[in-house]
Amino acid sequence: MKVLVVGSGGREHALIWKINQSEKVSKIYAAPGNPGIAKLAECVNIQALAIEDLANFANKEKIDLTVVGPESPLIAGITDEFEKRGLRIFGPNKKAAALEGSKAFAKELMHRYKVPTADYQIFSDFEKASQYVKNCPFSFVIKADGEAAGKGAIIPKDKEEAISILQNMMIEKIFGPSGEKVVIEQKLEGEEISLLAFTDGETVLPMIPSQDHKRVFDYNQGPNTGGMGAYAPVPFINAEMVERMKREILVPVIKGLKGEGIKYKGVIYAGLILTKDGPKVLEFNCRFGDPETQAILPLLQTDLVDLLLATLEERLNEINFFWYEGFCVCVVLASKGYPGKYKKGKVIKGMEEAEKEALLFHAGTSFLSTPAAYCSLPTVVTGGGRVLGVTALGDTLKEARDKTYQAVAKIQFEGMHYRRDIGEKYE
Ligand code: GLY
């Protein structure tokens, strides 16, 4: 089989690393990929949002399966375009991807199917939204309805700041049309976890739970990022709790969508919070999480390609799903300044040494020379905010953490920053 993976981050590198282990696969392409991915796949210079070009490429190269990493192409309808052309693609179609693409759509769906989530109101009018926050008796989160590069959910310090956030989103349009509508929801208290599942629109197969670390500094200080590290599985979530989350959250959503004529096929990612009243939904994503995928896939025993195909062929009920025992920890090495402004082009040293002890999933890396020189192994430099995911396994969470941080110690680049507490709380 020829497989094309769309995207260029640590998640896509982890997906390709796992897909490469399948005996069914003869060739992997990545669009656009990155220097780490280039060791396993042929990188083609097509961006993830160039849907026409990707479909033309898949057609020309007779790609058997395309796997989409990031949400943007899914929300923009890449699956619909590929399916229209008879090309096989993994990821929900545009209507289903609205679960991530519109916070208001997701909240209303949850409300209709009694899926536990925070109380909320939706506003398209700035004056009405401002009035609401002025009188709101509880702490709340303001969320831009549409895509906002992971920056669209903000917890205001006080009501004054809340009005200024609304002003920025709804009037100044800092997120473009994504912020014209907002969801204001009650801020919940509890531990946050990520539960990802494969679904073919009927069967829902949860993966092992994982925990992301979103703030940039240790002990959850500083601004939110795309994720500074993750581990799996989560020791305080037992099989019974996963079953409850599936029963109360994932199944009603997938069934509800189906009842409304939307078949959701792909990975559904539930961002959950464990409140004193039980698990509640913070958000849904329509794709594999990043960095969660980097901590989950190394523990997956089942052939990933079998899972992807069974999802598309609606045969997930036939799948035997196996996981290795133990734990996996992924620590993200980031550029100085991330998630704000940062410099690129810093030479990364020590990767070969680190790779003797751990998996290195490349995220924001690039070659010092042009992409055309992919084969000649030129120097690898930083090319993004999140640069590398260093990942190791262990029989215990502590062992996995120790091995990961030993490998982290081998790597250097100017301004390298990482959290030292990934998975520490529960080791
Ligand atoms: N780790 C957060 C996300 O994938 O959206």
In this prediction, residue 374 carries a pLDDT of 54
**Is 184 in contact with 165 (CB distance < 8 Å)?**
no
Average predicted confidence (pLDDT) for the chain: 96
In this prediction, residue 376 carries a pLDDT of 55
Whole-number percent of the chain with pLDDT over 90: 94
What is 66-123 written as a DSSP string? EEE-SHHHHHHTHHHHHHHTT--EES--HHHHHHHH-HHHHHHHHHHTT--B--EEEE
Cα separation of 68 and 306, whole Å?
16
pTM (2 d.p.): 0.96
Among protein residues, the one with the nearest Cα to ligand 1's atom 4 is 289
Among protein residues, the one with the nearest Cα to ligand 1's atom 5 is 289
Cβ of residue 147 lying under 6 Å from some atom of ligand 1: no
Mean pLDDT score, 148-172: 93
What are the backbone dihedrals phi and psi of residue 70, each rounded to the nearest 5 degrees, phi first?
Answer: -80, 165
In this prediction, residue 375 carries a pLDDT of 53
Q: Which of 259, 226, 198, 183 is nearest to 67 (CA)?
A: 198
Cα separation of 163 and 134, whole Å?
8
Cis preceding linkage at 371, omega within 30 = no
The Cα angle at residue 207 between residues 205 and 210, in degrees rounded to 5: 150
Among protein residues, the one with the nearest Cα to ligand 1's atom 1 is 290
In this prediction, residue 66 carries a pLDDT of 98
Among protein residues, the one with the nearest Cα to ligand 1's atom 3 is 289
Cβ of residue 36 lying under 6 Å from some atom of ligand 1: no
Residue 118's contacts (CB-CB under 8 Å, 6 or more residues apart) are: 141, 185, 186, 187, 188, 280, 282
pLDDT greater than 80 at residue 98: yes
Please tell me the distance between residue 211's alpha carbon and the centre of ligand 1 in angstroms: 10
Cβ of residue 294 lying under 6 Å from some atom of ligand 1: no
pLDDT tens digits, residue range 359-385? 999 999 999 865 555 555 679 999 999
Please tell me the distance between residue 90's alpha carbon and the centre of ligand 1 in angstroms: 18
Cβ of residue 289 lying under 6 Å from some atom of ligand 1: yes
Please tell me the distance between residue 287's alpha carbon and the centre of ligand 1 in angstroms: 9
pLDDT greater than 90 at residue 396: yes
In this prediction, residue 109 carries a pLDDT of 98
Pocket test for ligand 1, best of 290, 294, 296 (most atoms within 8 A of CB): 290
Cα separation of 86 and 79, whole Å?
10
